[in-house]
């Protein structure tokens, strides 16, 4: 199993490149702002061929580079249907501060969705490059927020979960942006996150890798779920 990752752009979004090994086809997950050149370097160095770009949700810090990467490698894009509209109009999911930041950092940027887009639903799979990523729809941060589970034994773990902006080390995704919903987030944490196996490594959209064992024990948003006063928020 081959996994490379790097934090992309001003939002330091974790972009992942996944493959069964070097010299094979690969999947790119969440290519944010400034991700094109690092992905191309990883692909060149390890003799990989991107065949799919998979998105945990439609926020621009996770999707900025999706179309150029798809077009340069003739790859398809996979995203939950609820967030597809954000590919061509990402400002629909952004607050005014983030919109102003994009205008300052990338003035005149225009956005179109990739040539080939596959819509995902809960329980659907992305079976490409010898990998099978299982979609776990977990709305709250956005309507289409999706985690992806990869059942592969690695470094003592039985599976990997790419949690996007649903779950972080010690925190969870914010719900105050357009499309966010606190009640949906609580339900997702209760029914989608807490049901993940302890033997899962969690690779989030921002910040360090964690584990379900650690989050179950130390994440206050998971510990306090039975108290209905929880209001999940973070800066991502």
At how many degrees (to 10) do helices 36-45 and 66-73 cross?
Answer: 40
Confirm if 186 and 230 have CB atoms less than 8 A apart: yes
Listed residue (62, 57, 60, 61) closest to 83, CA to CA: 57
Q: Which two tokens stand for residue 166?
A: 């649903």
The pTM of the full predicted model, rounded to 2 decimals, is 0.92
Q: Give residue 229's pLDDT band: very low, low, confident or very high (50, 70, 90).
A: very low
What are the φ and ψ backbone dihedral angles of 104, each rounded to 5 degrees?
-80, -40
Average pLDDT (210-216) is 95
pLDDT at 99: 84
Write out pLDDT tens, residues 3-53: 999 999 999 999 999 999 999 999 999 999 999 999 999 999 999 999 999
Looking at the predicted structure, is the pLDDT value of residue 235 above 50? no
pLDDT at 236: 56
Listed residue (103, 233, 99, 70) closest to 79, CA to CA: 70
Domains in the chain: boundaries: 2-223
Q: Looking at the domain 2-223, which fold is it?
A: Metallo-beta-lactamase; Chain A (3.60.15)
Choose the weakest-confidence range: 105-114, 131-140, 192-201.
105-114
Average pLDDT, the chain: 93
- The strand ranges marked E within 73-186 are 76-80, 117-120, 125-128, 131-137, 146-150, 159-164, 167-168, 171-172
């Amino acid at each position: 199993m081959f996994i490379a990752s790097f934090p992309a752009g001003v939002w330091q979004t974790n972009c992942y490149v996944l493959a069964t090994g070097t010299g094979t086809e690969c999947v790119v997950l969440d290519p944010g702002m400034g991700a094109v050149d690092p992905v191309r370097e990883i692909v060149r160095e390890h003799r990989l061929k991107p065949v799919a770009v998979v998105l945990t949700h439609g926020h621009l810090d996770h999707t900025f580079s999706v179309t150029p990467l798809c077009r340069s490698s003739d790859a398809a894009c996979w995203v939950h249907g609820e967030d597809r509209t954000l590919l061509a109009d990402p400002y629909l999911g952004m607050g005014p501060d983030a919109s102003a930041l994009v205008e300052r950092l990338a003035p005149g940027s225009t956005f179109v969705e990739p040539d080939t887009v596959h819509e995902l639903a809960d329980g659907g799979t992305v079976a490409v490059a010898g990998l099978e990523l299982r979609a776990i729809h977990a709305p709250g941060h956005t309507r289409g927020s999706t985690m992806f589970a990869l059942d592969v034994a690695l470094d003592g773990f039985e599976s990997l979960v790419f949690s996007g902006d649903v779950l972080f080390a010690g925190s969870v995704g914010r719900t105050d942006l357009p499309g966010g919903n606190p009640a949906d987030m609580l339900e997702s944490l209760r029914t989608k996150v807490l049901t993940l196996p302890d033997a899962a490594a969690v690779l989030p959209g921002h910040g360090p890798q964690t584990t379900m064992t650690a989050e179950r024990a130390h994440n206050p948003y998971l510990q306090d779920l039975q108290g209905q006063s929880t209001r999940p928020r973070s800066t991502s």
